[in-house]
Amino acid sequence: MDESIASLASAIGSRVKQERQARRWTLDQLAEAAGVSRRMIINVEQATMNPSVGTLLRISDALGVGLPDLVQSPESKAVKVIRKGEGAVLWSSESGGRGVLVAGTEPPEVVELWDWILGPGDKHASEPHTPGTKELLQVQEGTVAVTAADQTVALEAGDSITFPGDVAHSYANNTTEPARFSLAVFERGVGSPHREAGNE
């Protein structure tokens, strides 16, 4: 792991441990609630690995916090500024692609703002998020193929799409040129009893 990835992994690990201990949960209890192995929770808390976005979403959902809360320093300020280059890189590829969480709001209505670059041939597949999740995407450069709800749409620069994030979906660059898009993810009722009951 390079220094920035190691630093992010350490921050995430500390935050997960802090949230787990605040609930007086054991490693096994969090693992069961998140649907991941105990070893995975240990690895995340000890920052010995760089977990996937899907794993982080499962853990954040189980803890009842938004993904932004796991990757950003807790601040009580009404205005939060994240400077260029300070976002959390949560996905990367060998061809130069990356998914950067650049901003987010706190529960219960969580909105995540992402900056994505897909290198030539890159594809990022995502598991269904919690019920009611919505995604909004706009292509800034290149061509992006978005697949959701068994439908694939090719989008050019300037095109946008809204789709349910609670179904399996993916973003792909099937061209030989890089592509870039902005993505907003909206999750309702994070950490609320209504949402937890709906996830059982």
pLDDT at 196: 40
User: For residue 178, is pLDDT > 90?
Assistant: yes
Instruction: Determine the pLDDT at residue 1.
Output: 53
Closest CA to 106 of 78, 136, 135, 137: 78
Q: How confident is the model at residue 64 (pLDDT cuts 50, 70, 90)?
A: confident
Q: DSSP for 4-33, please give it.
A: HHHHHHHHHHHHHHHHHHHTT--HHHHHHH
pLDDT at 197: 35
**Domains of the chain, CATH where assigned:** 3-75 (1.10.260.40), 88-187 (2.60.120.10)
Which of the two residues, 122 and 61, has the higher pLDDT score?
A: 122
Q: Averaged over 80-101, what is the pLDDT?
A: 89
- pLDDT band of residue 194 (cuts 50, 70, 90) is very low
Beta-bridge mates of residue 200: none
pLDDT score, position 12: 87
- Report the percentage of the chain scoring pLDDT > 70: 92
Q: Closest by alpha carbon to 129, among 87, 189, 171, 169?
A: 169
Lowest average pLDDT, out of 22-26, 81-85, 97-101, 182-186, goes to 81-85
Q: What is the pTM of this model?
A: 0.75
